[in-house]
Structure formats: C-alpha cells, structure tokens
Structure 1
C-alpha cells in the first residue's frame, strides 16, 4: 500500500521526561521468541529491532522483559533478571542509538500467567487463581513480604537497564500480568495491605523511579480488562488516577487480559483506532499518552495525533508486517500491510513469531536479497493467488521480466474470497498492495486467461512458477434424490462475495468452514455445521477464532455437530454418523457445502516446456497458517528460481 504526507503531526518531536522522541512513532512491546533461553539478546533480536529504528521509529520498545526468573512466560523471552543480561541490552541500546532512535525496556513479571515448565520455578501471584489461557497452572499466593521482594526485583531490573544505557522504561501494568493482577478483582482476593488495587503498582513505580531517576518512565495500562468480572473502563481509570503519576512521564494505553485476548490483539473486524473512545478520559490526568489498538495506516495514525487522542502511538503488527510502515507514516511510500490474521500472536507458543504476509519474519536474521537476474530473463507465473503474487514480485525485484497468468478476472484466488468474510476483511489490503506492486515493478498481468502448453511455450520462459492452487478431495458423501453437494469455495465463487443462502449445511469444521459459517450466520443464514473434528477450527490458533467460535455456539439459528460425519445426503436431509457409530437423519435444507481442504494438483507441470526450471507452490489459499505457507512458498520459489537463472556478471 502507498501513503503520501504533507505537514504532519506524526513527524513532530515529543518530549517525554528528560528524553526527546524525534517523531510520534513507537514500536510496541511485541513478544517474538527471538532471544536465547537465558533471556539474552541475540543477533536476530537486535537486527529485528534495528530495522524498525532504521525505518524511522523514534522509540523502539523491547518485548515484555521479565524482571525475575519466576516471571518468565516464554522459552525465548527477553530478560533483565540478572546482571548477565546487561551486556546484550547495552549492545542493543548502542545499535538503536546509531539509528537515531531511543530504546525503551518494558518491565514485566508474568505472575499467574508464567509457567513453571518454562521458568523451572513455581509461579506466584497475588492470589491462587489459575489462568486457563496460559495453561491453568495453580499459582502459589505471595506472602506480604514476598510482595515487597518482588517490588525490589522491579527496581533491580531497572538499575540493570540504566547500566545498559536504556533511555526509557515502561512498567507493564496491563494484559493480566503481575501488576495488573494486583489491580483486578479477578486475580486479587487478598486481605492484607495489597488488597488495595493500586498499592503494588505504586510501590513498583517508586522503586523503578528510585533506581532510574533520569530515564523517561511510563506505565502501560489496559483501559478495559474485557473479561467477566474484570475491571471496567471506569474502575481502571479510578485505579490509575490514584497511581503515583507525579513520578511518571507518560501512560501507554492498551486493553485486555489473557481471558480477553481479543482486546490485547484485536480482530480485523474491529474498527481502526478502537481504543480512541477509551483514551479521552485519561487526558484529565495531565500525563502524555501513548495508544495502541488497530493503528494500521498512516491516515488513522495522523488522525489520532491531530485530534489529540494520544501524543504518540504504539505500533506492533503493522511494523511486524513491514518495518517500512514507519517510513510510510513519515514520508510516504509503499508498505506491506498487516491483514490482522493474528497468526503472529498465535505462533507465540510454538516458536519464533512469523507473519502471514511477511515471509522473512521469524526465519533468522535479516535475509539477503534474491540473486540478481538479467533483465532479459523471462519468467512466467501461472496463478495470481497469494503464492503466485509473492513469487512474481520477488522475481521482478530480482530483475526478471515477469508475466502472470490467471484464469480468473481478478487477482487473489481464494484470498479474494476470504477477504469478503466477516472476520477477515483486512485480507483485501494485501491484494490492494499486490496490485500496486504489479504496477510498481512492471509486471505483466494477464487475467481471464487459461494457460495451455502452447501458450506457455510461446512465452519462451527461462523459469516458471506454478501457483495454480489445489483441488478439493473426494467429500466421501453419497448424494442422491436432488441433493446439491458443492465445494464451499466453488459455491462462493459462483454466488459472489456478499451472497448467503437462506439455509445451508457445511460438511467440515476447519478454519474455512468456521469463517464461512460465521459470515453466513451473520447475514441471517440458518447453518448446520457438521465436522469430524473435535473442536471448531483446530487448524487455527486461539486469537484467529476468538470471536467467531463463540458467535457460532451462541447463535440459536446455528447447529454444530462435532465428532460426526456426513455419509449420505438427499434433498433437505443428511445422514450423520457419530464417532460412537450412532446414525441420525438430520434436517439440512439448502445446499450442502463441503469444506475438507484441498489437495495438491500437479497436472499443471505437464504444461511446462521441457528443460525449463519450474517450481510448484501454494497448494492452498484461505486463511491462517495455510495462507502463511502459501506466501512463504512463493517467496522461497522466487529465490530458488533466481539462483537457477544465469546471474548478472
């Protein structure tokens, strides 16, 4: 996507305490699993943050950095828990300073969200209240003296950060971590002095300020907790207003908790700048404000700053998708947009944090560019889905003359369908950016064109990328007596993006089935969802389905049958077999739409002229991990083919 700028608030410097930000852009404390298991900075972690500083970010923030070993929540999380961390933090600070940016460290302890299997130590909390989304481990209640010991741990970590040359410290009092746990009635059931929800926060503020008198100091808060029985927006503001704000240089506004993860990392169906309405009351506290929450375009960021909603913005996913987003905010230009699929946050428990649209994220250090190829090198990409579009762009960037064929009249393949669904509207942003990149790099696009062997041979290609997608597997259903059985993607292509039947049955409970069922139900369709799966969308992470699944389960017009199979269909009925072998005829009006994924179709390889290097990529479109794999495969294919084409001498 592209942006243009004029005289903008985004560009203006901002004074926070004794530090000056060169503009109003901060990177948010996004966890990535890029550090080592001892909590030390790695070259990969440093490179990642330096690239954000190079792009123009004024304040680069580390991820939630644990202040004591028992507060560690991730195997490769950054720490400031002992002196061995200082050297790495110092190297990071120096590298960030070389780019003209400031470095901020977010001080944190996981409390009841920490896991003993990760830290090797029992987890502790204000009260023995387990956190189910974090694994449900029962924490040990801190004694009164242990609460004070933990306060001192925050101060000690702050002192290490000062020794490392870090400019700004941010106390994490949000998202259901330890400080927030003391604030919330969900997790604080104490009867000693720490029953006061603001006491632990104030002691931490005082300890950090005493250890770091000259740094700019902030506090990150959840403006609303979001979970049942949690802090309301009014209650949160009341607690924060009793904090020692005379010691604080800024407040950093976020939202949510582990039990309300949709507020921490918001869905694409939520409006940009979603926290703006909550931020207004904090102006009365007289403290400079930062704000997060779906700030995914230069336009919404400038609007937020111009209207005085916040003094600076905290950016996470937008920079993860492309650090050039910062440059676009400051001086215009192209950037790869975040599509709010939330694969990044759902990857956090599995390893290095990836990005669906950024194929380099979570794959080691800064990648080398693809090998240069002669401008006369002709490459053909068959298929303009996300894999084909990615391959075409990377080959064009490497210098090749690229032609893309697609039988459809539009680019995007199955991603185009996904972009019309309720929970994934931001998928269209990637397709809009891809269209811009086609023009930018001079790629020839031929839509509405079936590729034959003779047509491909006429192109005299030096290399071919086959990105024709997959084909549906056999649904395993015997259909008769007027039953209409269609692949779910074929029905959507035939009826358009805004259509919905009066009623339908979906055979399958994968991510595509969930997304379509949720969209149809929202348009008034009566939906029967039958799946052999044990849960809805097991192929998706928690955040990707955090809104859709409850909606389906609570909708009285939707019926969900899991651990079940459809074996026979006739007009208006399906025979459903349970896992236990019981069979039942179930009323199923409307079309029967099959969502059983796709399988690889290698038939397109027969079209490639003999001896021409070719790669098959992107067997499936859709959402979540499947889309991530498609885009990665297109990126990898382009690099592989560029290396096989005669290089520039």
Structure 2
C-alpha cells in the first residue's frame, strides 16, 4: 500500500514521491524564446515538489510530424544542447525530467490544418500503410488532406534510429529519462493498431517498431529510464471493426516489459484524434472566443468548416464524459501482468483519488504513480497543494485545449478557476512543499 508521498523507483531512478506531471502541449517551438518558454512552464512544477516532470511530445524529425502548431523539434543536437538550461533548472529543485519523443504520422498538421498545408504544399505524411478507407473518404469529402508516404522497411529502421539519436541528445543535455508518445493517434500507435497497420514485412507486428526504438535508445542513450504509453483502442467508433482491444493492449504491455521498457502508461484511446484524449465538458468559452475566430478559420479551412468541427466537438463531448481515472481498469490489469511500474493518468483531480488508485486505503492498487496534465495549466505549482492533501482546481472544462490548434499556449481560460488560483497564491498555498535552489 502506498500513498502519493511515498518514494518510487523507475528504471533505477529513485523519485521522492509518486506524483508526475503528464506530458501536454507546451507550444514552445524552436525559436529564440523556446527554452525560456519551457522553463517558465515546467520549472514551477519541479519547485512545487512534483516527483517527475514529463516534457510534452517533441518531434524527432526535421520536417513534418507535428500534430499541432509550435511543437518543439529535437532532431538538432545544437538546439537540444540549449535545453540543458531547462534540465539544470529542474535539477536545482531536486526534480527529475523525462523528454517525450513523438511523431504524428497521419495525425500531422499536413492532414488537418488548412493554413499549414498552404504554407507546406509539398509535405507528405509518414504512414505505416495505406490510410484506412474512413480517412480516405474524409479526404474525398475535402475534410482532411491525405498525401501519405508509406514507410519502407529500411525507412522504419531509420526512423527508429532517429528516435534513438534524439534520446542520446536529450541525455547529453541532462534529461533523466525518455518517454515515448505511443497513443493519441501518434505514429507509434499507428504501428500498433490493426486499423492502421496492414504491412506485410516484420513491422506488421507493431511491437517490433517499439523494440527497434528500444534498441536504438539503448545504443545512443545507454541505460536511461525508458517509458512508453501503451494504447488500447477501446473507445474507437463502432464502425471501426479492427482495433486494439483491451486484451491486445495488455499483451502489448507484457511484451514491452519483456523487451526492457522500464515503466508503462496504459491508456484507453480511440483510433482518431477526438475528445477521448481530453474528456470533460464541451469548451464553449474557447469556441466562442472572439479573438480566436480568424485563427480557427485559418486552421480548419474557413469559418463554415470551423463550425463543423465545433459541432463534432460538441457531439464527442457528450460521448466522453469526464470520469476520474478513466484508465484505471486497464492500468490495474496491466499491473497484474508486468513487473515494472505502471503509471496512471486521465481525469485525476483529487488527492483522495490519487491515493485510492495507489492502494493507500487498502484497496487493490491500479498503479505505482499517478499523473495530471491540464490541471498544471491552471496551477503551475499544483504539486505543493496536492502533496499537502488538497485537490486540483481544474474543472475539466477543456477551454485550455481547443485554442492550441491555433498555436496558443496552454493556459487556463476559465475566470472562476483563474480567480481561485490567484487567491490561493496570495494566501501562500503553493509554498508548502517547495524545493528551493
């Protein structure tokens, strides 16, 4: 039995507690201010006592692969070297930071972002196989734009090696571990998913791609802790017949633990980029924001198409109600089958739920660590209050998420939450567990 304040070990790295900041979009880009943006975003989390910080999905290639505007690329060792200032800042608070490596594949901006396609007309999406007929139908209707470049066997190996090289750059810059983005319709999920993967070579078994990445990371970054998400496509629409079942996801998790992954993050996802990623209320305030209407139109190809996306967003919000710890059953079942730490995220907002899923009340633990993502947009120093026994302010309203399709940074846009955070800050509520330099 453990609670949030107990230490835990991941891949030989001891963490002071079982709370982590889950990876989210930082929208820092690669410009002159990128390191400052990341430090402003992540250092307060480490200072507030959070045991582990995951820097959000960072793209391993020089072109393509970004699922949203202003994502950071880590293909250039000269840029990654500059991130040592960030890792030093985290370490000054006795914190630990892992870099999440990613590629969007068919989820890349060239598929869905109209303005991006206009600026990059020659860009193609890396694809595991020929896209599923459902996406091809959306392409014919003009709702997305597909120009896939199906990876050859040699190119798959080259891409796995690129993940490894980026991991090496990260370790040289002081990162304490590597996290792979293998869910939320990323390219790695597309390798694992029978909905996307119709290959006939060795990578028809999508786990082989994760094995190749594992080997490349070990070649370039040594025995650094290596974590990956593990998807189960349990919330795929009913018309998707071939997808990763919960049983499939558990089998994948077992195989990854045997390969040598040091921790696993089981998540129940869809085969599409939809509200299953950010369950909760429909973000009406964000969609109605007058200062973002032109940006939405540019992203989605005009105001009419933006309204269509808004309608689809509203319908999906009804399907994916907020449920604290929605990945808990999957995590618990994986934890029964593997001997590496299992990390739980998805809808956690209260200290009581965190402790319960860790087994503090005598129940069957679902995980060895628990994480939150969007609540840190509202409270960058949330760790201090959570570790002191309080709950997050985040109302799962999702008003922070939709603006990110325009490149807006992640921040809370709900006035009542912003006011509450300001009041608590004035009262000194975020200073209780601070780890100062």
Task: Establish whether TM, by shorter chain, passes 0.5.
Answer: yes
CA contact (8 A) 2:30 2:73 kept: no
Q: Which residue of 1 aligns with 2:20?
A: 26
- Counterparts of 1:287 and 1:233 in 2: how far apart (Å)? 19
Residue 245 (structure 1) shift: 3.0
CA contact (8 A) 1:112 1:139 kept: yes
CA contact (8 A) 1:73 1:113 kept: yes
Pairing 1:38-57 to 2, within 5 Å after superposition: 41-57=34-50
Q: Which residue of 2 aligns with 1:621?
A: none
Cα deviation code 1:532-568 (max 9, x no counterpart)? xxxxxxxxxxxxxxxxxxxxxxxxxxxxxxxxxxxxx
Q: Which residue of 2 aligns with 1:11?
A: 5
TM-score (norm 1): 0.52
Q: Is 2:350 the counterpart of 1:297?
A: yes
Q: Which residue of 2 aligns with 1:181?
A: 190
Cα deviation code 1:460-513 (max 9, x no counterpart)? xxxxxxxxxxxxxxxxxxxxxxxxxxxxxxxxxxxxxxxxxxxxxxxxxxxxxx
Q: Which residue of 2 aligns with 1:122?
A: 124
- Counterparts of 2:105 and 2:60 in 1: how far apart (Å)? 11
Question: Greater helix share, 1 or 2?
Answer: 2
Distance 1:397 1:196, change over 3 A: closer
Unpaired segments ≥5 residues, structure 1: 1-6, 360-385, 400-436, 438-649
Distance 1:94 1:394, change over 3 A: closer
CA contact (8 A) 2:343 2:371 kept: yes
CA contact (8 A) 1:151 1:204 kept: yes
CA contact (8 A) 1:219 1:248 kept: yes
Unpaired segments ≥5 residues, structure 2: 111-115, 282-320, 430-437
User: Residue 262 of structure 2: which of 245, 249, 266 is its match?
Assistant: 249
CA contact (8 A) 1:18 1:214 kept: no
CA contact (8 A) 1:345 1:353 kept: no
Pairing 1:372-391 to 2, within 5 Å after superposition: 386=416, 390=419
Q: Which residue of 2 aligns with 1:526?
A: none
- Counterparts of 1:137 and 1:88 in 2: how far apart (Å)? 35
CA contact (8 A) 1:181 1:188 kept: yes
Residue 186 (structure 1) shift: 1.4
Residue 41 (structure 1) shift: 3.2
CA contact (8 A) 1:343 1:356 kept: yes
Q: Which residue of 2 aligns with 1:350?
A: 406
Cα deviation code 1:323-348 (max 9, x no counterpart)? 34321221235x66111111222122
Distance 1:396 1:242, change over 3 A: closer
CA contact (8 A) 1:206 1:247 kept: no
Which is greater in Rg?
A: 1
TM-score (norm 2): 0.76
Q: Is 2:187 the counterpart of 1:190?
A: no
Q: Which residue of 1 aligns with 2:160?
A: 151
User: Residue 395 of structure 2: which of 314, 339, 361 is its match?
Assistant: 339
Q: Which structure has the higher relative contact order (CA within 8 Å, separation 6+)?
A: 2
Question: Greater strand share, 1 or 2?
Answer: 1
- Counterparts of 1:72 and 1:271 in 2: how far apart (Å)? 29
Cα deviation code 1:216-267 (max 9, x no counterpart)? 1111122335212321111222233233634211101223146152322122
SS, match of residue 29 in structure 1:
coil
CA contact (8 A) 2:386 2:392 kept: no
- Counterparts of 1:105 and 1:158 in 2: how far apart (Å)? 8
- Counterparts of 2:422 and 2:168 in 1: how far apart (Å)? 45
CA contact (8 A) 1:189 1:195 kept: yes
